[in-house]
């Protein structure tokens, strides 16, 4: 039996891309998935599809920049399935632009979603996992958590922060709670749709020519989840074989 079987997994940003792919894979392997995102219509369609296949799934509208929303998602998961074993902090945005473009509102949005969203997931889930004396956070970072490129300064800063927060959490929680950072390289997703700057769009179009499917990152998530409780996969970088980055 897979160690994913019967686990309760909460996934943010689950209406598309990596979050959707992870929901499909983990549900197929026997997990009960609780999905959160702003586009609740897409979540509901995905839940209905999974349930029609005999899988356990539920959803709730969530804006990860709102702490109460994330807490409500965790509370809903506990009410529905009795516990939470894994929280995948996946929601993210990537409106790339050079700093000189002064897209300050986009900077703020990245900070709110990419950093505060992860912190809100931790704040909602950590007390529960400490009471359970078990659990796992899987925080989705990026290859941008390891290197910086033009147009990506603020985005990379938020992903460096995800790594730092995750490592601090790992050191603090001891042996009961596992913490994993997964850093995708160029992956098929809707992230590029948030880029309003034409220079950033052009750069991302070039990157996307070698993108790997979201299912590749879903498999990495499953790998981290299925390890025995005494094995903590701390960091995984998953990128296209042809990627120079």
Q: Which residues are catalytic?
A: 155
CB 223 within 8 A of CB 231: no
- Whole-angstrom distance, CA of residue 181 vs CA of residue 88: 10
Please name the residues in contact with 27: beta carbons below 8 A apart, sequence gap of 6 or more.
Answer: 33, 50, 53, 55, 56, 57
Please name the residues in contact with 73: beta carbons below 8 A apart, sequence gap of 6 or more.
Answer: 10, 12, 34, 36, 60, 62, 124
DSSP secondary structure code for residue 212 in this structure = B
Q: C-alpha 48: how far from its chain's center?
A: 22
Q: C-alpha 223: how far from its chain's center?
A: 15
Which helix (H) or strand (E) segment is 60 a member of? strand 56-61
* Three-state secondary structure call for residue 177: strand
């Amino acid at each position: 039996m897979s160690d994913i079987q019967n686990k309760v997994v909460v996934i943010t940003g689950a209406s598309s891309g990596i979050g959707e792919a992870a929901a499909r894979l983990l549900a197929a392997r026997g997990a009960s998935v609780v999905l959160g995102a702003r586009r609740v219509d897409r979540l509901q369609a995905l839940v209905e599809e999974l349930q029609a296949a005999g899988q356990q799934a539920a959803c709730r509208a969530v804006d990860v920049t709102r702490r109460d929303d994330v807490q409500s998602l965790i509370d809903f998961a506990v009410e529905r399935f009795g516990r939470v074993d894994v929280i995948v902090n996946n929601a993210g945005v990537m409106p790339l632009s050079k700093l000189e473009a002064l897209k300050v509102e986009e900077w703020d949005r990245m900070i709110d979603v990419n950093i505060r969203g992860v912190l809100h997931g931790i704040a909602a889930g950590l007390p529960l996992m400490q009471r359970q004396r078990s659990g796992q956070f899987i925080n989705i970072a990026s290859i941008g958590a390891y290197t910086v490129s033009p147009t990506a300064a603020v985005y990379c800063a938020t992903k460096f922060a995800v790594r730092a927060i995750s490592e601090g959490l790992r050191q603090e929680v001891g042996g009961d709670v596992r913490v994993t950072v997964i850093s995708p390289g160029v992956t098929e997703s809707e992230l590029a749709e948030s880029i309003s700057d034409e220079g950033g769009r052009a750069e991302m179009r070039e990157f996307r020519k070698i993108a790997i499917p979201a299912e590749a990152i879903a498999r990495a998530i499953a790998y981290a989840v299925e390890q025995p409780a005494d094995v903590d996969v701390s960091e995984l970088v998953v990128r296209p074989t042809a990627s120079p980055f």
